[in-house]
Chains A and B, each alone.
Chain A
C-alpha cells in the first residue's frame, strides 16, 4: 500500500508539473456536493473547464447543452440511473463516441460489467484516487 501511494505521488508530481489541459471541457454529473467540490478543485487546478449537473432526470439534455469533451458520470443519481443515461447517450449520433468516465459507490463487479455493456469508456470505483481521475480524463480526451 505504501509503495502504491508513493508511486501515486510520483505520478502526481509528474502530472501536476507536466502538461496542463488548457481549455478542455468536462461535465461532472454527480449529486454528492462534497465530491463535486473535490473533483472540480482537482480538474480546475489542472486547467479543465468544469461544469456540473446533479439530477439524473435531465442529464442527457445537460450533456447536449454543455457539449463537453468528456463526461464524468455517477451511477447513483436521483431520479435516473447513470446506466440509463449512458445508454441514451450512446444512442444519439452526437454523443455515441463521447468519452464517459463512470463512477460508482457500489463496488460490485456486476456494476462494472453493466457499465462496459452500455458503453462506458472507463469505470472507476469510489473512493477514487485524484490522480487516477486526472489521468483517466486526460487519456480519454487524447491528452
Chain B
C-alpha cells in the first residue's frame, strides 16, 4: 500500500526529475544547440497541455455520466487543427511578426495598441482561468486522497485544503524558476516546454497503460469489452443531441483562445512549419488519449461500488486490483496533466498581468522618469513573479470557495465559455479590416459581463456572491432577469444558455459597433498589418526618431533586455547603418525594430508607450504623424497640381512674351513710322514754307532766283503728293479694295520698263543690272502696272541700299508650270538675319538713318500687290547679298 508520505516523495522526485530536464534543456538551448528542442515533435507534445487533469481523470467521469458526449472536447480541437490549419498559421505569423506575447497583447496590438482592450482580455483570462487552476488543484488533491485514505468517509477537509495549498506553492516556485528566467517571451521557455513535452509523454503512457490493463487484464480482451459496452448504460445514452454542436464549437474556440494554448501554439512556436506536423500529430495524440476512456468508464461502472467517483476510475481501478505501480503511474499521469497546465497557464497569465496591468500602472506612476531612474528589467521580472504567485493564489482561493461543488467537467466548460469571449475580437481582427477598437471593447465587455452573470457566479451555487434567491427569482424578483434563464429563453441547460447569450451578444455588438464606429489611423494601419499579414513583411508604423537620443534608448533597452543583449542589438544596428561606434542613428527602421524587440519583453502597448516617452512623442503622436502624412500627401498633390499649373502658366507666359515682343516691336515700328511720316511730310513742307516766305518777303529777287525758288516749291509739292499717294495706295491694298486691271503682257517688256524707270541712263548708273533676256520671254495675263510697280521698288532698293563697291543686280526668271518666279539678287551685304522677318511689315525701316526719301512703305506695298495678284514676294536667306523672289501665276484668276 502506497502511503501519503510515499506519494509526497514520489511527487518530489518527479518534480526534481522535471527540474533537471528543464534545466538541461535551458543549458542546451543557451549553448546554441536548440536543434531537437525546436523540433515539431516537442511542439506537438507541448500542445498536449490541452489535455489537463480534467481530460486525464474527468473524461472517464464524463463518459460515465454523459456517454459519448466527452468526445466533443476532443473533436473541437481536432477540427481546428485539421480544418482551420490556415487560421492557426495566420495567427502564428501575426504573433511572430508583431512579437505578440499573449492573447491580450494580440487583441490590443490589432486594435491600435489599445491598453484598454488588453486590460479587458487580461481580466477575462484571469477570471476564466482561475476555476481551471482550481480544477487542477482539486484533481491533484483528490488523487492524493485516493491513496492516503481509500475510504471516502475518512476525508478530512482541512487536509485536502492544505494539500492543495502546498501543491499551489510548489507549482508557483517551479513556474517562477523556469517561467521568469528571461524577460523576452520570444527567447522562449525551452526548459518549461521540454518539461511539458516529457509530462505529455508520461500522461499518455499512463493512460494507455491503465487502458491496456483494463481491457486485457480486467475485462479479458477487446471482444469482451465491446460486449460490456453494448450492455452498459453508455451504449443506451442518447444525450441531448442539441449539445453536441455547441460543445464542439466551444472546445474548438477554446483551443484558440485559452491563454495557455495561445502560449504554446503562438508564443512558444519557433517555426511556422511545425504547425503542419501538429495539424495531424496533435489530433492523433487526442485520439490516443480518448481511446480507452469508454472501456475504463464501462469497466469502472461495472466493478466499482455505485457511490464511487467515476472521475477517479483511472486511479481506483488499478488500486482495486492491487496494481500499485500502475496506480502510481496513473497518479503521475494525472499529476503531470495538472502541473503542466498550471505552469503554462501561470506563465501566460502572469505575462498578461504584468505587461498590461502592472507595468502600465508603474509607468504611469513614474511618468517621465522611466528613462533616467529605476531598473525596468527588474520591475518587469518582479511584476511577472508576483503575478504568478497571484494567479496561483487566486486559483487556490477559488478552490477553497467551491471545493467539491461541481463535477470536474463542469468547471472546465465554465472556463471555456469565459475565455471564448475573446474569439469574436480575435477572429474579426485577423480577417476583417473593418473591425474597430470600440466594437471589440463593446463585444468583450458585454460577453464578459453576461458570462459572469449567467454562468460564472451561479457556479458558486448560491454563495454570497450570487444569492440563491437571485438564481431562482432573478434580481429584485424580476423574473426575466434570472441568471440562468434570461428573458425566459433556454432555461433547461445553463451552459448552452450562457454560451448562447454571452457569445451571441458579444458577436452582435462587436459587428454592429465596428460598423458604426470609425477606426483610428493606427488601428487601420495595424488592421492592415494583421489581415494582410502574408502580404506585409515590414513591421507596424511607429516613431520618427528625429528627436530620440540613441543613448537614452540604449539606457532604457538595457533595463528591459539586459545590458549585453541591448548593446549587441544597438551595435548590430549601427553596423547595418554603416556607422562607426555603438550607437546607431535613431532612424524609423531602427526604432521600429527596437519597439518590436521591447514588445517581446513588455508587450506592444507598453513598449510603444516607453519608446514614445523617449522619442518625445506619446502614443497620440503616431496619429499626429499619420495626420501629418495625410497632409503631406495632400500638399504633394497640391504641389503637383501647382507644378502642372505653373508649367501651363509658363507656357502661356512664353506665348505672351512672344506676342508682347511682337507687339512692342510693332509699336516701336509704328512710332518710328509716325516719326518717319512726320519727317517725310515736314521736310518738303519746310522747303515750301521757307521759299514761299522768301518769295513773299524778299524784295529785289532776280528772275533766276524767282524761277529756282518757285520750281523748288513745285517739286516739293509733288514729293508730298507722292508720299500721300503711297499711303493711300497701301491702305487700299491692305483693305482689299483695290481694283485690278488685268491685261496681256510680256515679262521682258515689264522688266525693261521697270529698269528704265529706275535707271534712265544705264551707262551713267553706278548700279549694273544683269539680265537673261531669252528666259524673260514669258507671256502674262495680269495687272501689268502693279507688277511693274513691284519690280521698280525692288530695283530701286538695290540702287539705294546695295553697299558693294561696284553694285550689281542680277535678275533671273524661272517658269514653273503655270507659275513664274523672278529673282532679284544684289552683291551687297544683304539684310541681317534678325530683321528679315520685319522687312515686309509696313512702317518697317531698318534704321532711322537709311537713305532719305523713303518712308519704308515700298516692300509693304509690294507684298500687298503680290497678294492681290495671287502671288507672293519673299526674302531668300543665305550668303551673298539681298535676294528677293517674286512668284506669281502666269494668268491671274479673274475676280469672282
Using Cβ atoms and an 8 Å threshold, which residues of chain B touch A78? 849, 851-852
Q: Which of A42, A79, A128, A130 has the most CB of B within 10 A?
A: A130
User: Quick check: is A62 within 8 A (CB to CB) of the other chain?
Assistant: no
Q: How far is the CB of B678 from chain A (nearest CB, A)?
A: 5
Q: A-facing mask of B696-732, CB < 8 A → 1, else 0?
A: 0110000000000000100110000000000000000
Q: Which among A76, A79, A130 is the interface contact of B679 at CB below 8 angstroms? A: A76
Interface contact B849-A77, CB-CB below 8 Å: yes
Whether B675 contacts A127 by the Cβ 8 Å rule is no
Chain B nearest Cβ from A7, distance in angstroms: 13
Nearest-neighbor residue (CB-CB) of B680 within chain A? A105
A12 to B695, CA, bound (A): 13
Structural contact, B689 and A79, CB atoms closer than 8 A: no
Any B CB within 8 A of the CB of A32: yes
Q: Which residue on chain A has the smallest CB distance to residue B716?
A: A34
Q: Shortest beta-carbon distance, A109 to chain B, in Å? A: 12
Given contacts A38-B690, A41-B694, A108-B675, contact A32 B849 (CB under 8 A): no
Residues of B participating in the A interface, judged by any CB pair closer than 8 Å: 675, 678-679, 682-691, 693-694, 697-698, 712, 715-716, 848-849, 851-852
| Nearest Cβ on chain A to B674's Cβ, whole angstroms | 8
A19 within 8 A of B: no
Type the 1/0 row for A98-111, where 1 means its CB is closer than 8 Å to any CB of B: 00000001111000
Looking across the interface, which residue of chain A has its beta carbon closest to that of B689? A127
A45 within 8 Å of B (CB atoms): yes
Q: With contacts A34-B684, A108-B675, A127-B686 known, what are 15 further pairs, Cβ within 8 A?
A: A16-B697, A32-B686, A39-B690, A56-B849, A76-B848, A78-B849, A80-B849, A81-B848, A105-B679, A105-B683, A126-B682, A126-B683, A127-B688, A128-B690, A129-B689
**Residue A9 at the B interface, CB < 8 A?**
yes
Distance of B683 from chain A, by nearest CB (Å):
5
Contact present for A130 and B694 (CB under 8 Å): yes
Q: Is the interface of B mostly helix, strand, loop or mixed?
A: helix
Q: Please state if B852 and A31 are interface contacts (CB–CB under 8 Å).
A: yes
Q: How far is the CA of A127 from the CA of B690 in the complex (A)?
A: 8
Q: Is the interface of A mostly helix, strand, loop or mixed?
A: loop
Looking at the assembled complex, report how far the CB atom of A54 sits from the nearest CB atom of chain B, in whole angstroms: 11
Q: Which residues of B are found within 8 Å of A12, using beta-carbon distances?
A: 697
For residue A105, give the distance in angstroms from its CB to the closest CB of chain B. Answer: 4
Residue of B nearest to A34 (CB): B687
Min CB–CB distance B679 → chain A (angstroms): 4
Within 8 Å CB of B697, what residues of A? 9, 12, 16, 130
The answer to whether A108 and B678 touch across the interface, beta carbons within 8 angstroms, is yes
A108 CA to B670 CA in the complex, in Å? 14
Q: In the complex, which of the residues B690, B698, B712, B851 contacts A45, with contact meaning CB atoms closer than 8 Å?
A: B698
Against B, the Cβ 8 Å flags (1 = close, 0 = not) of A121-143 are 00001111111000000000000
What's the nearest-Cβ distance from chain B to residue A1, in Å? Answer: 13
Distance in Å: Cβ of A73 to nearest Cβ of chain B: 15
Docked pose: A92 CA to B678 CA in angstroms: 32
Contact across chains for B849 and A126 when beta carbons are under 8 A apart: no
* Interface bits A27-50 vs B (CB < 8 Å: 1, else 0): 000011011011101100100000
In the complex the two chains form, what is the Cα distance from A81 to B849 in whole Å? 8
Interface size on A, residues (CB 8 A): 31
In the bound complex, residues from chain A placing their C-beta under 8 Å from that of B712 are 34, 37
Q: Is the CB of A38 within 8 A of B683?
A: no
Minimal beta-carbon separation of A132 from chain B (angstroms): 10
11 contacts between A and B (CB under 8 A): A31-B852, A34-B684, A38-B687, A76-B679, A76-B848, A80-B849, A106-B682, A108-B678, A126-B682, A128-B686, A128-B690
With a cutoff of 8 Å between Cβ atoms, the chain A residues found around residue B691 in the complex are 34, 38
Q: Knowing A37-B712, A106-B679, say if A32 contacts B690 (CB, 8 Å).
A: no
CB distance from A112 to the nearest CB of B (A): 13
Q: How far is the CB of B281 from chain A (nearest CB, A)?
A: 106
A34 to B683, CA, bound (A): 9
Docked pose: A131 CA to B693 CA in angstroms:
9
Say how far A33's CB is from chain B's closest CB, in angstroms. 9
Given contacts A38-B690, A38-B694, contact A79 B685 (CB under 8 A): no
A129 vs B689: C-alpha distance in the bound complex, in angstroms? 8
7 shortest interchain CB distances as A-B pairs = A38-B690, A34-B687, A105-B682, A127-B689, A127-B686, A126-B686, A105-B679
Whether A130 touches B693, Cβ cut-off 8 Å, given contacts A34-B687, A38-B687, A76-B848, is yes
Least CB distance from B704 to A in Å reads 13
Contacts of A41 in B (CB 8 A): 694
Complex contact A35–B686 (CB within 8 A): yes
Give the Cβ gap from A18 to chain B, nearest Cβ, in Å. 14
Please judge, given known A-B contacts A32-B683, A35-B687, whether A105 and B698 are in contact too, CB under 8 Å: no
Residues facing B in A76-95 (CB within 8 A) are 76-81
Nearest to A56 among chain B residues (CB) is B849
A31–B213 Cα gap in the complex (Å)? 145
Inter-chain CA distance A81–B689, complex, in Å, is 24
Q: How far is the CB of A64 from chain B (nearest CB, A)?
A: 22
B682–A107 contact, CB under 8 A?
A: yes
* Contact residues in B for A16 (Cβ distance below 8 Å): 697
A77 CA to B689 CA, complexed, in Å: 21
- Are A105 and B690 in contact, CB atoms less than 8 angstroms apart? no
Complex contacts, A37 vs chain B, CB 8 Å = 712
A131 vs B678: C-alpha distance when bound (angstroms): 23
Please report the C-alpha to C-alpha distance between residue A12 and residue B699 in the assembled complex, in whole angstroms: 12
B668 CB, min distance to chain A CBs, angstroms: 13
Cα–Cα distance between A68 and B686 once the two chains are bound (Å): 24
Bound Cα distance from A35 to B689, whole angstroms: 10
A130 to B, closest residue via Cβ: B693
Q: Per a CB cutoff under 8 Å, which of A42, A107, A127 touches B694?
A: A42
Nearest chain A residue, comparing its CB with the CB of B853: A32
With A and B bound together, what is the CA distance between A130 and B691 in angstroms? 9
Contacts of A129 in B (CB 8 A): 689, 693
Residues 49-81 (chain A) with a chain B CB within 8 angstroms? 56, 76-81
The reply to whether B689 and A128 form a contact with Cβ atoms under 8 Å apart is yes
User: Considering only CB atoms, which chain B residue lies closest to A36 in the complex?
Assistant: B687
- The complex places the Cα of A127 from the Cα of B675 at a distance, in Å, of 14
Taken together as a complex, chains A and B put the C-alpha atoms of A56 and B850 apart, in Å, by 12
A129–B693 alpha-carbon span in the complex (Å): 8
In whole angstroms, how far apart are the Cα atoms of A126 and B865 in the complex?
34
Residues of A within 8 A of B852 (CB): 31-32, 78
Contact of A105 among B678, B849, B851 (CB under 8 A): B678
- Most B CB contacts (10 A, CB to CB) among A31, A77, A106 go to A106
